[in-house]
Amino acid sequence: MELKQTFPLTIKRLGINGEGVGYFKRQVVFVPGALPGEEVVAEVTKVHPKFSEARIKKIRKPSEHRVKPVCPVYEECGGCQLQHLHYSQQLKEKRDIIIQSLERHSKLPISEVKINETIGMENPWGYRNKSQFQVGEKEGKVLAGLYGMNSHKLINIDQCAVQHPATVKATEVVKSILQDLKITIYNEKSGKGLIRTIVARTGVQSGELQIVLITTKRELQKKELIIEKIKERLPEVTSIVQNVNGQKTSIIFGNETETLEGNDFIQETLGDLQFELSARTFFQLNPEQTVKLYNEVKSAAGLSGKEKIVDAYCGVGTIGLWLAGSAGEVRGMDVIPESIEDARKNAARHGIKHARYEVGKAEQWLPKWAKEGWRPDVIVVDPPRTGCDEEFLNTVLKIKPKKFVYVSCNPSTLAKDIAKLSKHYKVEYIQPVDMFPHTAHVECVSQLILKEK
C-alpha cells in the first residue's frame, strides 16, 4: 500500500477511536468519519507495517444511520468523533466495541457472556459540566477552544453542543473581558504572554459556577478589574480561581492555586450525596449518567447491608460512599494523598462512620488487612484508561472476594484484565453506559463472580 493510493472500501465496523474499519488486500485500513456498512473511495494518508490510515475521498453508499453533525467545527475540532452517526446507532456500536475487544484480547466464549444494551441519555446534548479551553490570539482577537485533530492549530469554539450551556456562556464572557481589558495572551512559540487556559465548571444541580484562569505567572494584570467584570457579567459565579503554570507543557494545571474571589469550591449533588469540587478535584463530567453508572455498580455489588467492600482506586470516594448505605463496611485506597483527604471529608460530611480511607495501593493494603483477618466480600474498581495494575490483579486472585465489580472506561484494557481474572472468576454480565454521547468513549460495569471449586 502506498501514500495517496485510492481504492474502494467497504466499512465493516467502528474502531475504538470511532473511525471506520475496512480491509483492503487483507490489510486493516482505518478511515475517520466512515461508518459501518458504507462503501467509500479511500485515499491512503499514512502507511504502517500492520495497518494503514486513509481519508474518505467519496462516499459511494452512505449508511442509513448517517446524520448531519450539529456542530459547525465538528470535523476540525476532533473533540467529538460520532456526531455524524444517529444517537440510537451510537449506543449499538458502543456495545459492539466491547464485543470486539473481548474477541481480540480474551478467549472468553462471547456467546456465553451477557452483554446488555447500552444505557443512553434521553437528551444526549449539553451534558459536560466542565470545559478547559486553551486561549490564543489571532489578528488581535482573543480565541478560546481546542487544538484541531492531529494539529497545533487552535480552533475557536464559541458554541459547543456537548458542553453545558453555562460553561459555554462563561467562557465566552471571560474571553470578551480579557479582550476588552487587553490582558496579554500566552503564545506557545514565543513563550510570552499571561493567560493560557480558561476552565469553567458548573454544579449542574447547585447552579454554582467556577472560573479558573490558568496563567504563566502569579502576577495577574488588572486583577481587581477582571474580578469586578466577571462578577458584574456572570453573577452566577461563586468561585474565581487562579492557577499558575509556567512550564512548557501540555499539562493544563500547575501546582500553585489561589482563590481570587468567593469560595475555594463549588457544590455538586449526585443522588443524596453532596460534593465540594475545588479547581483541581477530579469529578465525573456527566452527572446525569454518573447516577445511572453508580446505580449499576450498586446493582452488580448486590448488597444486603452486611458486606465488607473495598473501593480500589477510590479517588475522592464517590463509588464507595454511593454503596455505603447498603454495606457493612467500606474501605478505599488511592495513591493521591489529596484524594484520600477529600474522601475522608466526604464520608464525615455525610455522617458515614463505617468508611475508612488509606493512602497507598490496593496491592499493599489488601494483604495487610487479610493478615489482620479482614477480607472483603466485594471489590469495586474504577481504574484509569490503562486498566488495572498487574500486581493488583494478582492480589485479587489471592484474596478471592466473592464478587469483583469492574467499572471500565477502556474496553481493550477491560478485556485484557478480564482474561487474567477468568481463571477464577466468571463474567456474569457487562452493562455498557454511555457517559460521553457523540464521542468514541465506552464505559461499562462488569460483574464477576468467584467460581465454585
Active-site residues: which are they? Answer: 409
Question: How many angstroms separate the CA atoms of 284 and 158, rounded?
Answer: 23
- All three cell numbers of 397: 486472585
Question: How many angstroms separate the CA atoms of 88 and 77, rounded?
Answer: 23
Burial 361-373 (b: 16+ CB within 10 A, else e): bbbbbbeebeeee
Amino acid at 349: R
Instruction: Please report, for residues 169, 201, 317, 436, the alpha-carbon distance to residue 237 in angstroms, rounded to integers and kept in the order given.
Output: 12, 10, 26, 26
Q: Which residues contact 80 (CB under 8 A, 6 or more apart)?
A: 69, 71, 74, 161, 162, 438, 439
Question: How many angstroms separate the CA atoms of 213 and 196, rounded?
Answer: 8
DSSP line for 305-320? S--EEEEET-TTSHHH
Is residue 196 a contact partner of residue 135, using CB atoms and an 8 Å limit?
yes
CA angle 191, 193, 195 (to 5 degrees): 115
DSSP collapsed to 3 states, 335-352: CCHHHHHHHHHHHHHCCC
Owner of C-alpha cell 449506543: 91
Q: How far apart are the first and last CA of the chain?
A: 52
Question: How many angstroms separate the CA atoms of 170 and 237, rounded?
Answer: 9
Question: How many angstroms separate the CA atoms of 330 and 352, rounded?
Answer: 10
Strand order in the sheet with 443-450: 114-115, 425-433, 443-450, 403-408, 378-381, 308-312, 329-334, 355-359
Question: How many angstroms separate the CA atoms of 145 and 160, rounded?
Answer: 10
Owner of C-alpha cell 512559540: 189
- All three cell numbers of 285: 463530567
Burial 416-438 (b: 16+ CB within 10 A, else e): bbbebbeebbebeebbbbbbbbb
